Amino acid sequence: MSNLHTSDPVALRYLLTEPIFTVGPDKGTPSMDQPETPPSVDFIFYGKNGRRFLFLVDDRQHQWMSTAALDAFSKTLAALKLSADDVALLNLATRADRVRKADMLSFFKPAVIVLLGIAPEAVGLSMSSTPLCEYEGIKLFCTCTFDEMLVEAEKKRQFWSTIKTLLT
């Protein structure tokens, strides 16, 4: 067996592939066969997501929506024979970090996503120019906020005609 002697830092990087010393207990090296699992993301949302209907809002002034909008939202759910237990309402403005599409889809596993006044690109979704389409097997509906619907009856009518077929 021959001894190698070098002080070249580039050569040392290739020759020394194991740690010379460690601090604390040895946790082993990650295997290439087993990818590291990303840290789980926890979402704070209104409802219980029982039927996997995800509603997204971006309201910087309220926890979920304004009082009038939340009341209209609850009445809409009741008219559809749904409750807060059936849906998840996520306010993107209450999060300190940007919501990643992969985290959101894996956490909520939505069958339907209703974007209330939010551009689909804001959460990494792409959709056609129509307000209703499908994305990777998930039905997407892009519409205005409940506050806008409370002011304009035509927006409320358009929302209702779509949502009643989408969620029933």
CA distance 93 to 73: 18
Total structural domains in the chain? 1
Examine residue 112 and state whether it is found in any structural domain, yes or no: yes
Q: What is the CA radius of gyration of the chain?
A: 25
DSSP 120: G
Residues 29, 17: Cα–Cα separation, whole Å: 12
pLDDT tens for the chain, 168 residues: list them.
Answer: 556 666 666 665 656 665 555 555 555 544 445 454 454 678 899 999 999 999 999 999 999 999 999 999 999 999 999 999 999 999 999 887 888 899 999 999 999 999 999 988 888 887 777 788 888 899 999 999 999 999 999 999 999 999 999 987
E strands, 5-129, in order: 46-47, 53-57, 87-91, 112-116
Contact by Cβ (8 Å): 133, 69? no
In a domain, 141, yes or no: yes
Range of the domain at 79: 46-166
153, part of any domain: yes
3-state helix, strand, coil in the chain (%, to 5): 35, 15, 50
What's the start-to-end Cα distance of the chain, in Å?
A: 76
19 found inside a domain: no
Domain contains 12: no
User: What is residue 135's predicted lDDT score, i.e. its pLDDT?
Assistant: 86
- 33 token code pair: 């066969």
Q: Evaluate whether 57 touches 100 at the Cβ level (below 8 Å).
A: no
The reported pLDDT for the residue numbered 3 is 67
Confirm whether 5 is domain-assigned.
no
Residue 26 and residue 53: Cα distance in Å, rounded?
45
Q: State the CATH number of the domain containing residue 144.
A: 3.40.470.10
Is 31 contained in some domain? no
In the sheet with 46-47, reading across from the earlier edge strand, the strands are 46-47, 87-91, 53-57, 112-116, 138-143, 132-135
Could you tell me if 118 and 152 are in contact, meaning their C-beta atoms sit under 8 angstroms apart? no
pLDDT of residue 123: 87
Q: Tell me which amino acid residue 94 is.
A: T
**CB of 140 closer than 8 Å to CB of 125:** yes
| Within a domain: 29 | no
